[in-house]
Structure 1
Amino acid sequence: MTPHVPLQLSADAGPPRVGAFRRALRRWLGDALEARQAEVGASPDLSDDLADLADDLVLATSEALENVVDHAFAGVAEPGRMSLQAYLADDVVTIVVADDGHWRAPTSGPTSRGRGITLMQNLTDAEVDHGPGGTTVTMRKPLPQPAHDRPIAQA
């Protein structure tokens, strides 16, 4: 399989960039998944499984980007940089959100916040790495098997 052209974005970490990155990712996912459909000889229209996968990836990525804006540069006069990379290879979509800010540990007391990492992990295979140079969230999601490739369910 030929990998789709990766998406690579970088900008100052600010609220308007989250929406712009999210829309760019949604367009890229649509293009990449439609190209994958065509490559395997399927209809170019996205199946419900692929549309749901795209929705999950956009939601998880949006949460990672919001975390950058809300937490990575808290207490500094000017925000740093955030980046988004996405690629599709070997039937796995991988999305990487990174910043050059500082990790802020989740609060331990009662709060209405703090569910972002759990959400990302529920929607994808998400790994969070943080260090002195910033935080990187890597999210992976395999494409669903086509219906004709799925094992027959046992009753």
Structure 2
Amino acid sequence: MSTAAVGHVEYVHHVWPARPVHLASIRAEVRRWLAPLGLTEDTQEDIVLAANEAASNAAEHAYLPVTVGDTVELTFWVEARAVWIEIVDHGRWQAPAPRPGARGHGLKMMSNLVDTVLLHYDGRGTRVLLRHPAVAPHDQR
């Protein structure tokens, strides 16, 4: 984090319709949230891609059949040394295929992009919690 951002804690919660057409605006919003933190461009893109994958899974798989009220929620906050993003849907968990082909690698991809991926699903929906260190290049020692 830049010197100006040390100790900075921000909290944002936003809800989108759970439709693939909204993924571009979700990515843009996550980029906007990350911009003031002084992270490298690569780190920002990794976090955006991980959040996008979780939101994409919610938009494409959680709600079958699709209804007007289906949503994907993102909650973003910053702690002294970490960025957190929680992605929530209120649909049904769809287990990945036992032998994924071209699809079904989302959790592995998220784990490769950010430091921590926690997953919880039950009858209320699915929560994906992403955590990544928020250390700007000049703060690394």
Q: TM bucket by the smaller chain?
A: 0.7 to 0.9
Q: Using the TM superposition, give the Cα deviation of residue 79 of structure 1 relative to its aligned residue in structure 2, in angstroms.
A: 5.5
Map Cα deviations across residues 51-93 of structure 1 (whole Å, 9 max, x no partner): 2211100010010111001110133444511101111111100
RMSD over equivalenced CA pairs, Å: 1.9
1:140 corresponds to which residue? 131
What is the number of residues matched between the two proteins? 135
> In terms of Rg, which structure is larger?
1
State the TM-score, normalizing by the size of structure 1: 0.79
Confirm or deny that 1:22 pairs with 2:27.
yes
1:59-98 equivalence runs, <5 A: 59-78=49-68, 80-98=70-88
Contact persistence 1:7–1:25 (CA under 8 A): no
Unpaired runs of at least 5, structure 2: 1-5
Structure 1 residues without counterparts, runs of 5 or longer: 35-45, 151-155
Identity of aligned residues (%): 31
Provide the rounded CA distance (Å) in 2 between the counterparts of 1:22 and 1:11.
12
Larger relative contact order (Cα-Cα within 8 Å, sequence gap ≥ 6): 2
Q: 1:19 is matched by which residue type in structure 2?
A: A
In structure 1, the partner of 2:121 is 130
Are 1:101 and 1:135, in contact at CA under 8 Å, matched by a contact in 2? Answer: yes
Q: Distance in 2 between matches of 1:149 and 1:20?
A: 31
